[in-house]
Amino acid sequence: APGVAEVRIALTAERSTRRLIAVASGKGGVGKSTLSANLAIALSRAGRRVGLVDADIYGPSQPRLMGVEGTRPTAKDKVLDPVPTPYGVPLLSMGQLVEPGRALAWRGPMAAGALGQLVEADWGAVDTLVLDLPPGTGDVQLTMVQKYRPTGAVIVSTPQDLALIDARRAIDLFEKAGVPIIGLVENMAGYVCPHCGESSDPFGNGGAEAAAAELGIPFLGRVPLTIALRTASDAGKPPAADPGDTVFAPLAARLVAWL
Ligand code: ADP
C-alpha cells in the first residue's frame, strides 16, 4: 500500500495535470450551458476524463441538461463529492447547493466561495474540468480567472452583432488575466426548416467567424439552431451522447488538440 507521502505526491500530480476549460459568454441565453454540457460529453467520448462545474448562479441548468435534476452532492470532511450523470461526466452545480432560485440572490463573495467548493471538490481521476461560467464579467468570473487560472477559455456567441459586442468584453477579461482564448463557438447559426428544408439565418450569418478573425482568436465552429437540440436539452438527453453526433465531436477534437 502507498505511504502517506506517496499519496500526497500522487494527489498533487493529479491536480497539476488537470485542465480547466472555462466556457463563457458576454450575455445570457446564447447557449453557453447547452454547449458546456455537450462539449463535456464530447470530450469524454474523445477519451478525456471529464468533470462538469456549473457555476452559473443566474441559471444553474446543468442538472436538468445532464438528466440529474433534483440530485444533491454528498460531502466528506466538507469536500463535495460530484454527482454521477448517465453520460459518464460527473457534475457539480451551484443549483445543487441551494434551494432552486436562491443562488441568484447571493452576494459576490458568497458566489465566489461557492465556486471554490465546486472546483476544489473531490474530482478524483478527472483530467479535464469544464466550467460553465455565468454570463458577463462579474465576481464569479473574476475569482475564476484570478484564483483558479483556467487553462483556456471557450467563448460562445450567437451570430448577432450585439451578442458579439458582449463577447468581446468577456474575451477582454480573460486576456487581461493572461488566460488563453481557445476560440469562439458560434451557436444558433443557421436554421433548417423541418417542414420545407429551406435554410435561413435568424440571427445573421458569419458574424462570429468574422469577429473571431478581427479579434485574432481561433474560430472553433458553429452549432446550428435546431428544434431537436432544444427538445433534447429540455429532456436531459444531450445530443453529444448520440453515437451519430456530428456537431459536437469536431468541436471536442479541436479542444483535445489544443489541450
Ligand atoms: P445560456 O447558458 O447562454 O443562458 P442556454 O444554454 O441555457 O443558454 O440556452 C438557452 C435556450 O436556448 C435553451 O432553451 C436551450 O435549449 C436553447 N438553445 C441553445 N442552443 C440552441 C441551439 N443551437 N438550437 C436550439 N436551441 C438552442
Q: What is the ipTM of this complex?
A: 0.99
The predicted structure's pLDDT at residue 39: 98
Which pTM value belongs to this model?
Answer: 0.90
Nearest CA to ligand 1 atom 5: 31
Predicted confidence band at 121 (pLDDT cuts at 50, 70, 90)?
very high
Establish if 183 belongs to a structural domain: yes
* Residue 1 confidence (pLDDT) above 90: no
What's the rounded Cα separation, in Å, for the pair 242 and 259?
24
CA 81: distance to chain centroid? Answer: 19
Establish if 193 belongs to a structural domain: yes
Cβ atoms within 10 A of the Cβ of 31, count?
22
Q: Is the CB of 61 under 6 A from ligand 1?
A: yes
Question: If you search the block for the grid coordinates 429532456, which residue do you land on?
Answer: 235
* Distance set, CA 2 to CA 5, 10, 54, 79, 126 (Å): 8, 10, 34, 22, 21
Question: If you search the block for the grid coordinates 441551494, which residue do you land on?
Answer: 98
Which has the minimum average pLDDT: 60-69, 72-81, 131-140, 191-200?
191-200
Establish if 8 belongs to a structural domain: no
Pocket test for ligand 1, best of 32, 33, 34 (most atoms within 8 A of CB): 34
Which has the minimum average pLDDT: 17-31, 41-55, 82-96?
17-31
Predicted confidence band at 78 (pLDDT cuts at 50, 70, 90)?
confident
Angle between helical axes of 248-258 and 32-45 (0-180°, round to 10): 70
Establish if 5 belongs to a structural domain: no
Pocket test for ligand 1, best of 187, 225, 233, 247 (most atoms within 8 A of CB): 233
Predicted confidence band at 3 (pLDDT cuts at 50, 70, 90)?
low
Task: Specify the ligand 1 atom closest to the Cα of 28.
Answer: 4
Establish if 6 belongs to a structural domain: no
Can you give the residue range of the structural domain that contains 170? 18-258
- Residues 168-178: tens digit of each pLDDT: 888 888 999 99
Q: Is the CB of 118 under 6 A from ligand 1?
A: no
Percentage of the chain surpassing pLDDT 90? 56
Closest CA to 137 of 108, 158, 94: 108
The predicted structure's pLDDT at residue 98: 80
Tally of structural domains, the chain = 1
- Dihedral class, residue 98 (left if φ above 0, else alpha if ψ from -120 to 50, else beta): beta
Please return the burial class of 219, using the count of CB atoms within 10 Å of its CB with bins 0-12, 13-18 and 19+: middle
Give bridge partners of residue 76 from the DSSP assignment.
Answer: 79
210: domain CATH number is: 3.40.50.300
